[in-house]
Structure 1
Amino acid sequence: MKVLVTGSSGFIGSILTQQLEHKHSVIRHGKQDITESVSNSFSVNINSNSNWGQCLQDVNAIVHLAAVAHNKSNDPDYINEVNVKGTINLAQQAVNAGVKRFVFISSIGVLGNGTTNARPYDEHSNVSPHSEYAQSKLDAERALLKIAAETDLEVIIIRPVLVYGKGAPGNFDKLVNLVSKVPMLPFALCDNKRNFISVDNLADFISVCIEHPNATNEIFCISDGGDISIKEFTNEIAKGLNTPLLQFPVPNFIFNLIGKITGRQAQMDQLIGDLQVNPNKAKVLLDWTPPFTMADTLSRLTR
């Protein structure tokens, strides 16, 4: 099978292409391909006018990872141009090129930030995007499902929780830097329930969705499974870094007070709040279970 991976030079894309190349012919699209002379690699600016013709020759499936992340731009028009219009344009050209399957990596953020949800998110949860980025992902999802309903293109939408692993950007990178530099953290009393997904597990799940017949036109909320607190998560990061870490007790109301005073309540909620998903659909429909443990992935932090 010939697979086009957009964003192949990114954090998730680099791990995914390594996995896929054991089984498939992979066409890589990513920033580094501008300067690298690599066989089967292309650089295309993603927007409503992109020409994907050269990339789509004889392609059977597309994994669309590339996007403007919420921490990379504050311009809603630019986010919409890349994440929504650029995705629609790619999908429409995929239809014209006879591509069979389109795997779209969305975000659990289309359902909300978890703090006000009494039950774990699943594929039936009401959407409630909490940022311009999340809204753009939801708009792209809806457009793709419409295209799937009107054409022969098979669309699979994956909504992962926070993805962790060596080189992960955003909040995970901040936590790794914190644990590596500070030997004591104030999370001993934090017993929140959050779900995460290893980049290795996400790549494995994507590879399953590329081929599995039961994935056609389905949406999946995906995680490693199991709840983990910020205390447990930072302890696991410390183990991966082979560094000692002590946790001391600070009541949650102190964190919330700091969040309100500094105007960073959203960031504080991400730190000590809950965000759970029910990933059972992937297990039941695709017979998928995460093959990697958290320790497996975090053990590479020092390599």
Structure 2
Amino acid sequence: MSRLMVTGATGFVGRHLCQIAGNCYRVTRHQPREAEGSFIVVPELDSSVNWSRLIPKDVECIVHLAGIAHNASSDEDYVRRINVDGTLHLAEQAVLAGVKRFVFVSSIGVNGQQTVEAPFTPYDRASPFNAYTRSKHEAELGLQNLSESMGFELIIVRPTLVYGPDAPGNFGLLTKLVKRLPVLPFASIHNRRDFIAVQNLADLLITCSTHKNAPGHIFLASDGRPVSIKQFTNAIAKGLDRKVVQIPVPQFLFDMLGRVTGRSSVINQLTGSLAVNSSDAEIVLNWSAPYTMAKAMTFLKSKGS
């Protein structure tokens, strides 16, 4: 019986994916203490790794989550060495080792920074805008070429912002704000932004690893319903069993704050729009998000986030 191999298995998404997948091989940079499961320790995911000695014979599919995140390094050469060269090296050696399917977790940032109301689709022209998104796009193109030349099954998944217990980045910041402040400034912000619960993303990735119709597709991953930042923070508050009051603060004040503090990108991720058309997952895979946002947020309280 074949088993799944997951890179980045101890990361935020990887932990949830492996928990749902069960008996899978977990590729990590360090051996976790007192952890159960089959671990493959690789100190650095670059092109120097000899995967032929590491990939077990019963692996037929790899879900590749590991990589350098957009906020982890300003060195574009290093980001490219891990996210592009390391990814293509892994895929090539995996195929030679008998792996039949490769699920690559990319980024919605490959689609670009949304400036119009129309939702992004998998068929839009790519418009990466920084070192991280450029590296993800280059890896996608390289994998597509390898898939054609070497004959393995490739699925690309571009998630929207992933939320859930212990999520890093902006979601962690929003959770702290909801915990500490009874008043939030989002009543006048009517943006439309898609998100995906970590449980839903893990479920989609498992579906992509097995579904016969998945190969050859790019899926934009979301819960399936865009919400405003006001609705999103209200959902966080409800999940934490907190009460918040939303007051109206004009958009231009948020924009000004972003310019003054040099955090315009962070402000835009909170108050700007980024909607996606994720219907391909339902059409091709017959997949829909198993958890509503309200249900997914209840895990915040149970996990003590």
TM-score range normalised by the length of the shorter chain = over 0.9
Question: What is the correspondence of 1:199-218 to structure 2 with a 5 Å cutoff?
Answer: 199-218=198-217
Could you tell me how far 1:37 is from its partner in structure 2? Answer: 6.6
Question: What is the correspondence of 1:48-87 to structure 2 with a 5 Å cutoff?
Answer: 48-58=47-57, 59-87=59-87
Structure 1 residue aligned with 2:20: 19
Report the Cα distance in structure 2 between the residues aligned to 1:97 and 1:117, rounded to whole angstroms.
44
Tell me if structure 2 keeps the 8 A contact 1:194–1:228.
Answer: yes
Report the CA distance shift for 1:34/1:147 in structure 2 as closer, same or farther (over 3 A).
same
Letter in structure 2 aligned against 1:85: D
SS at match of 1:213: coil
Tell me if structure 2 keeps the 8 A contact 1:103–1:157.
Answer: yes
Structure 2 residue aligned with 1:136: 135
Report the Cα distance in structure 2 between the residues aligned to 1:256 and 1:290, rounded to whole angstroms.
33
Report the Cα distance in structure 1 between the residues aligned to 2:3 and 2:226, rounded to whole angstroms.
36
Could you tell me how far 1:296 is from its partner in structure 2? Answer: 1.9
Report the Cα distance in structure 2 between the residues aligned to 1:36 and 1:91, rounded to whole angstroms.
30
Tell me if structure 2 keeps the 8 A contact 1:9–1:32.
Answer: no
Tell me if structure 2 keeps the 8 A contact 1:164–1:196.
Answer: yes
Could you tell me how far 1:260 is from its partner in structure 2? Answer: 2.5
Structure 2 residue aligned with 1:198: 197
Report the Cα distance in structure 2 between the residues aligned to 1:50 and 1:35, rounded to whole angstroms.
23
Question: What is the correspondence of 1:145-164 to structure 2 with a 5 Å cutoff?
Answer: 145-164=144-163
Report the CA distance shift for 1:39/1:244 in structure 2 as closer, same or farther (over 3 A).
closer
Report the Cα distance in structure 1 between the residues aligned to 2:116 and 2:102, rounded to whole angstroms.
30
Structure 1 residue aligned with 2:250: 251
Letter in structure 1 aligned against 2:20: Q
Describe the superposition over 1:234-258 as per-residue Cα deviations: whole angstroms up to 9, x where unpaired: 1111111111111111111211222
Structure 1 residue aligned with 2:294: 295
Could you tell me how far 1:2 is from its partner in structure 2? Answer: 1.1
Tell me if structure 2 keeps the 8 A contact 1:27–1:55.
Answer: no
Question: What is the correspondence of 1:78-97 to structure 2 with a 5 Å cutoff?
Answer: 78-97=78-97
**Residues paired across the two proteins, number:** 299
Report the CA distance shift for 1:37/1:10 in structure 2 as closer, same or farther (over 3 A).
closer
Report the Cα distance in structure 2 between the residues aligned to 1:37 and 1:271, rounded to whole angstroms.
36
Report the Cα distance in structure 2 between the residues aligned to 1:39 and 1:260, rounded to whole angstroms.
47
Structure 2 unmatched runs, 5+: none
SS at match of 1:197: strand
Percent of residue pairs bearing the same amino acid type:
45
Report the Cα distance in structure 2 between the residues aligned to 1:281 and 1:135, rounded to whole angstroms.
24
Structure 2 residue aligned with 1:31: 29
Report the Cα distance in structure 1 between the residues aligned to 2:275 and 2:221, rounded to whole angstroms.
10
Report the CA distance shift for 1:39/1:301 in structure 2 as closer, same or farther (over 3 A).
closer
Question: What is the correspondence of 1:157-172 to structure 2 with a 5 Å cutoff?
Answer: 157-172=156-171
Higher alpha-carbon deviation: 279-288 or 250-259: 250-259
Describe the superposition over 1:164-214 as per-residue Cα deviations: whole angstroms up to 9, x where unpaired: 000111111111111111111110111110000010110110011001111
Describe the superposition over 1:215-235 as per-residue Cα deviations: whole angstroms up to 9, x where unpaired: 112111111011200001011
Report the CA distance shift for 1:301/1:34 in structure 2 as closer, same or farther (over 3 A).
closer
Letter in structure 1 aligned against 2:152: L
Report the Cα distance in structure 1 between the residues aligned to 2:184 and 2:25, rounded to whole angstroms.
43
Letter in structure 1 aligned against 2:122: E
Tell me if structure 1 keeps the 8 A contact 2:24–2:37.
Answer: no
Report the CA distance shift for 1:141/1:47 in structure 2 as closer, same or farther (over 3 A).
same
Report the Cα distance in structure 2 between the residues aligned to 1:283 and 1:15, rounded to whole angstroms.
22
Describe the superposition over 1:261-303 as per-residue Cα deviations: whole angstroms up to 9, x where unpaired: 3332222211111000000111111111111111222111122
Tell me if structure 1 keeps the 8 A contact 2:110–2:136.
Answer: yes
Letter in structure 1 aligned against 2:131: E
Matched, 1:7 2:8: yes
Could you tell me how far 1:155 is from its partner in structure 2? Answer: 0.7
Structure 2 residue aligned with 1:43: 41
Letter in structure 2 aligned against 1:10: G
Structure 1 unmatched runs, 5+: none
Report the Cα distance in structure 2 between the residues aligned to 1:143 and 1:112, rounded to whole angstroms.
19
Letter in structure 2 aligned against 1:258: L
Could you tell me how far 1:39 is from its partner in structure 2? Answer: 4.5
Q: Give the superposed CA RMSD.
A: 1.3
Describe the superposition over 1:98-139 as per-residue Cα deviations: whole angstroms up to 9, x where unpaired: 10000000000001122x134100111111112211111101
